[in-house]
Amino acid sequence: MPIKFKKSEIDNFLSKSETEISYFYNLIGSHGLVILEQAKHNSRDLLKFAKKIGKVRVHEINSIKNSLPNFKEIMLVGNKEYNDNSKGLETSIGTWHTDYAFKINTDCPSILKCEKSPSSGSYTSYIHTGDLYDSLEESFKLELEGCEMVFDYNAFYKNFADKKRTTLDKKNSNNLVPVSKNIIYEHPVTKRKCLFLCFETCMYIVGKSKEESDKIINKLFNIVENFSKKYVHKWTDGDVLMWDNRCTLHRGMPYNQKEVRELHRITVEGNYNFGSFV
């Protein structure tokens, strides 16, 4: 489960040299989640760190309206609104998901920094999908072996997007090609068997009837909802969490909307492509 760094270790962690990148990927792949409590680093330092370890993602659609002013690579998460072109997002709060599941190179890491948490508390939960795989009955593991799930940003948009987002017109929509990925796969760094899931963007399982496909997706949904081996993080201002979307599911929890919740998210494009375009 997650690894936490003490205050004294954090500067050292973020200033690791480029030769230590493999150390970082091993660490985040094994634990799923790295926690830097009250790190107090500003988002520019984190962006620098992200650029050192890989290519920072700029989301084609979200960067238009949902980024920190003057920083296309930093997505605003929460209810903070700076202006019409910089509004916080949280449309899928409460749903277990994987950031950028719909991309062929799913991101590692997602870096989320807490700028401001409501005084009444706000929480994000995490599950390592290697633990999830290990918990499945053998018969269900066999049933899932070789199954490919289709992930599609358009599906997400239809079910979750609100008016704060940039309109998804036909051109945008056509550019976001769905991808299919094996539900059970071997993590590229740790070689551990993990599940690849996302209940925001999943559509169907390749080669199954709608009924069969829905049945499997619903069963997986219920397993995840009831999974007890999860980490629940209570946000404190300054906290930085980094996770590997290739072996971690997460979901934000509802909070008091009368208070401000502002989080900054930076994601690094995964250096390992898997799945195929549909």
Query: Applying CB under 5 A, which residues contact Fe ion?
Result: 99
Shortest reach from residue 170's CB to Fe ion, in Å: 26
Shortest reach from residue 252's CB to Fe ion, in Å: 7
Shortest reach from residue 99's CB to Fe ion, in Å: 5
Shortest reach from residue 92's CB to Fe ion, in Å: 7
CA distances from 234 to 90, 114, 191, 227, 238 (A): 17, 10, 30, 19, 12
Q: Which is nearer to Fe ion, 99 or 262 (CB)?
A: 99
- Decide: residue 143, CB within 10 A, 0-12 exposed, 13-18 middle, 19+ buried: middle
Query: For helices 43-53 and 21-31, what crossing angle results, to 10°?
Result: 100
Q: Which is nearer to Fe ion, 99 or 239 (CB)?
A: 99
Q: Which is nearer to Fe ion, 71 or 140 (CB)?
A: 71
Q: Which is nearer to Fe ion, 126 or 144 (CB)?
A: 126
- The token duo for 108 is 């590692």
Q: Which is nearer to Fe ion, 99 or 244 (CB)?
A: 99
Looking up tokens 């409501």, which residue turns up?
118
CA distances from 244 to 84, 98, 102, 129, 275 (A): 31, 9, 15, 10, 17
* CB-nearest residue to Fe ion: 99
Shortest reach from residue 131's CB to Fe ion, in Å: 19
- Decide: residue 108, CB within 10 A, 0-12 exposed, 13-18 middle, 19+ buried: buried
H or E segment to which residue 115 belongs:
strand 110-116
